[in-house]
Amino acid sequence: MPVSNHNTTEQTDSAPSPASKPSWRFGDLSAAELMPQLQRHLLAQDIKANWQLVWLNNDGRPVIGLLPKVCWSVYPNDEQASSDLPNIYKVIKSCRGNGVRRSTDVNSDDNSYASMTAYMSYLEWQDELIAYSNAQEVNHDTSYINNEESPKPSYHHGLIGFIGYDIAALELSPADRIELAMQPCASLAHYDIYLTPTAHADIGWTLKTHLTNDDASENTDHETNDILINTLTSYLDELDQKLSDKHLNQPQFKDVSNITPLVLSPRWSKLDYQQAFNRTQDYLQQGDCYQINLTQKWSGSLARENNDVQSAFSLIDYLPALYRNTKAPFAGYVSVDGDDGDYLNKSSSFNADSNHFELLSCSPELFFTFTRENDTGKHSIRTKPIKGTMPRGVTNEQDERYKQQLVDSEKDRAENVMIVDLLRNDLGKYAKIGTVKVPQLFAIESFSNVHHMVSTITAELKTDTHPLAVLFGSLPAGSITGTPKKRAVEIIAELESTPRGAYCGTMGYMNFDGSGQWNVLIRTLQANALSNDDCNKERHVNLWAGGGITVASDCDAEYQECLDKVGNLLSVLAQNM
């Protein structure tokens, strides 16, 4: 289904245009430093609001979304269908209502959100999102839309969220009954209210809104939107003042420099990894696959002071230190409420950190960039799979030597080209004939702790294909499964023996005009309470790392590669660097 071309009617009488919104410096904090302060401040103002704060670094074009208009959160369904029928998932759809209120305003109307539960298949959910996107008014303001003068993609109105590995792997091999982690399988939300950096870097952040005509069909709706934006602006004014005055000793702020270290321990010993590696080799030797991406898990728990639920740290508190260390181009964060409608039943004693699922990614890997030509409406796609890793050196000489070793590695080049061929095949299903190209093969990109071998594939999409269908149909990414993909995910489920959850899925945005950008969720932490009882005890955190295994792989080298990939994250968490 193609993207609809709608004429935009900008709401100008009930809310200012994006260009006229106020701006804030927020103490000149970076986005990663701002996020914990912003989340705690907003929750202190209105504990009942479904803020669902999200941040995407977006390769240097960051966006912070808040208070989504509509959100779809997908969960495992306890009553799965038989193996010959599509998998059915529990989808909770929440809609923003009358706005936000002060937590101290006990007489305020609490009926600000509506929630409904549906049971649908993966494809039915995809089709609902496409229909919703096509029904929205496309923003044609060229200051937001990608063009030759603004080559980097950016969010300008659409959906933001994530789709986890587990649900995508299960859809790829439904008969294998791949286990789903007991957490959100996916969550996508329409963010019509968001913060972006101002055009002048020395000014800070500006608030942008797209409250369209369907929100304001009556005078009362105009007034409601005015109240919503004015209230939110006042909240941001207060935070800006507090950060400017360095009033970080207020109760709603934690001193992020004194966060308790978070120690994550490996689930596997080296012997466990070796046994899984050997079984992987057996499958490769038998011809089941050419490459299998084997990963292992580290886990721990978020701490609280003196066993006090209200003092529990949140994963977002570790975001500033993690981003400072990694500078990951496709980093991101999102928090999603539990599947029992908790945000509808919050009380003044509710601990906002205790029952949320949190996803914090320090990903260096691009999955897809979708671009749209304004004149023709043509959509193009670019993907940059990573396959091949070497650590950074201690000295410049050693660093260059390691980089050259990666350039010369026949094993890494062979693994990389396998994934390039897999992705060329994936894109070929959606691309116009003859448009799939490989403009760059075996390039080396350097990050804070590793060098990676990266290739680039591009294509032009068929005119009757919606980018969301390409995204849904191409998951999970070939770089984190292996090839052939279907058999690889089946072997992964057997060997790893525990669900990956969101890890190795994707996080990003899709504008309503079909442009967008999505990462591969590697170098990614997940925090979740395993049961309702655990909500009052501790929240579990996990982190994964792995690599592609071929018949030419060495067990010790592959095990060390896992440590190279997440060693800096483990150190930052343990020492709060």
State pLDDT tens for residues 101-145: 555 554 444 445 688 999 999 999 999 999 999 998 554 444 444
Residue 100: per-residue pLDDT: 61
Q: Give the span between the Cα atoms of 266 and 308, in whole angstroms.
A: 27
Please count the CA atoms within 13 angstroms of the CA of 278 that sit on its side-chain side: 6
> Across the chain, how many H-helices and E-strands are there?
11, 24
Predicted local distance difference test score (pLDDT) of residue 219? 53
Say if CB 384 and CB 456 are below 8 A apart: yes
In the set 21, 208, 384, 387, the catalytic residue is: 387
Per-residue model confidence (pLDDT) at position 160: 99
Q: Which two tokens stand for residue 210?
A: 């797209």
pLDDT in tens, 354-398: 458 999 999 999 999 999 988 888 999 999 999 999 999 999 999
Task: List the Cα angle 454/370/517 in 5-degree steps.
Answer: 70
494 catalytic per annotation: no
Six token digits for residue 493: 């489920």
Q: What are the DSSP calls for 311-337, one per residue?
A: G---GGGGHHHHHHHH--TEEEEEEE-
Contact indicator for 381, 153 with CB cutoff of 8 Å: no
Residue 306 burial (C-beta neighbours within 10 Å; 0-12, 13-18, 19+): exposed
Does domain 18-378+463-575 sit in CATH 3.60.120.10?
Answer: yes
> Which residues are registered as beta bridge partners of 276?
none
pLDDT of 355 reads 54
What global pTM score does this model have? Answer: 0.89
**The tokens of 77 are what?**
């369904």
Interatomic CA distance for residues 291 and 413, integer angstroms: 13
DSSP-H helix ranges across 394-540: 396-408, 410-428, 467-474, 485-496
Specify whether 365 is catalytic. Answer: yes
Q: Burial-class residue 350 by CB neighbours within 10 Å (0-12, 13-18, 19+).
A: middle
Q: Exposed e or buried b for every residue in 153-183, given b needs 16+ CB within 10 A? A: bbbbbbbbbbbbbbbbbbbbbbebebbbbeb
> What DSSP element (H or E) covers 129?
helix 122-135
- With contact defined as beta carbons under 8 Å apart, do 502 and 359 qualify? yes
What tokens does 168 get?
Answer: 């995508």
The three-point CA angle 127-128-130 to 5° equals 65
Beta strand 113-121 with 330-336 is: unpaired
Q: Which residues of the chain have pLDDT under 50?
A: 5-20, 106-111, 139-149, 215-216, 247, 250-255, 308-310, 341-354, 534-535
DSSP state of 554: -
Q: Is 62 helix (H, G, I), strand (E, B) or coil?
A: coil
- Active site residue: 365, 460, 490, 561, which one? 365
Number of other CB atoms surrounding residue 442 within 10 Å: 17
CB 195 within 8 A of CB 30: no
Q: Cα separation of 117 and 119, whole Å?
A: 7
Q: Distance between CA 108 and CA 97 in Å, rounded?
A: 13
305-309, long-range: CB < 8 A, 24+ apart: 305/260, 309/351, 309/354, 309/536
Closest by CA to 169, choosing from 506, 507, 530, is: 506
Residue ranges per structural domain of the chain: 18-378+463-575
> Facing residues of 333 across strands?
55, 360
Between CA 192 and CA 94 the distance in angstroms is 14
Backbone angles phi, psi at 42, to 5 degrees: -65, -40
Question: E strand or H helix at 573, and its extent?
Answer: helix 555-575
What is 336-395 written as a DSSP string? E--TT-GGGS--TT--TTTS-EEEEEEE--EEEEEEE-TTT--EEEEEE-EEEEEEPPSS
Q: How many CB atoms lie within 10 A of CB 151?
A: 8
Give the three-class secondary structure for 183: coil
Report the amino acid identity of residue 35. Answer: M
Can you tell me whether residue 537 is helix, strand or coil? coil
Q: What gap in Å lies between CA 455 and CA 475, rounded to an integer? A: 18
